[in-house]
Amino acid sequence: MKRMSSAAKLKLLRTGVLLLGLVILMPGLVMAQAAFTVPGAPFVAQALPQIDLSIGGEAEDFSLAIQALILITVLSFGPAFITMMTCFTRIIVVFFFLRMGLGTQQSPPNQVLIGLALFLTIFIMMPTFNQVNEQAIQPYINEEMTQAEALIEAAVPLKEFMVRQTRDQDLLFFMDLVEIDTVDSIESIPLFVVVPSYIMSELRIAFQIGFMIYLPFMVIDLVVASILLAMGIIFLPPVLVSLPFKILVFVLTDGWYLLVQSMVRSFN
């Protein structure tokens, strides 16, 4: 069989791409022509539907298009909201330190640790979520406040929760960067100042808890490595021998209960 040259293959590929594009675009072109023409009449372009982006009006609220845009923006920041404005960061960092200390590689898997961290976050944050629902969501649904007022009221309980967990030194550092000398109340602190301060404090506390968890496991590794070296077994990795002992110690001390209990109680 005669082989095709490179130029013939390229020409055939371009023809296929062109045909595929026509097949994909043909329904859209037909629908567009049907939308802009009237049966029995020559082609007449009609006006596209108008989208009202005005702000204000009788209700003194955002238009429907702006509300939809704000809702989509809030949903896109969902992962950042969960990880940066709740207790999720401290919990998940501690869980990963625990797995590193045990040396169990991918057990428990990431999905299990993240799922447990999410449900613990919901449990710990439920009082704050209830305040947001009572102060912002329900009044907005009942049309007792505008969307802008609801967003401002919803941020107040979150600020109060984050400030309680934030170290004064971290909060003052970011306040000095934006040249804020004094504030009358927590509500007057901008959200872009509270969030990074809270994250710095959460990471500091998470690493402190992780160190306290990692330390006893490291001691077990050192003891096992010293015993193997004294016995002359230098080709056997100490991790393989210490892993069962670390799991046994963690289970006998009811480690999951103690860890979760201390994590929940660490949020005052």
**49-58, 157-166, 244-253: the lowest-pLDDT one:** 49-58
Query: CB-based burial of residue 260 (10 Å sphere; 0-12 exposed, 13-18 middle, 19+ buried)?
Result: middle
Structure confidence by residue, pLDDT tens digits, 115-159: 999 999 999 989 998 988 888 888 888 878 887 788 888 888 888
Contacts of 255 (CB under 8 A, 6+ apart): 98
Contacts of 238 (CB under 8 A, 6+ apart): 221, 224, 225, 228
Three-state secondary structure call for residue 96: helix
Contacts of 247 (CB under 8 A, 6+ apart): 102, 104
> Which residue type is seen at 59?
A
Residues in the chain, overall count: 268
Structure confidence by residue, pLDDT tens digits, 192-222: 888 899 999 999 999 999 999 888 888 888 8
Three-state secondary structure call for residue 56: strand
**76-80, 216-220, 242-246: the lowest-pLDDT one:** 76-80
Could you give the CA distance from residue 70 to residue 72 in angstroms, rounded to a whole number?
5
Return the structure tokens found at 239. Answer: 């991790």
Could you give the CA distance from residue 98 to residue 90 in angstroms, rounded to a whole number?
12
189 to each of 99, 116, 134, 159, 198, how far by Cα in Å? 37, 32, 22, 8, 13
Average model confidence (pLDDT) for the chain?
A: 76
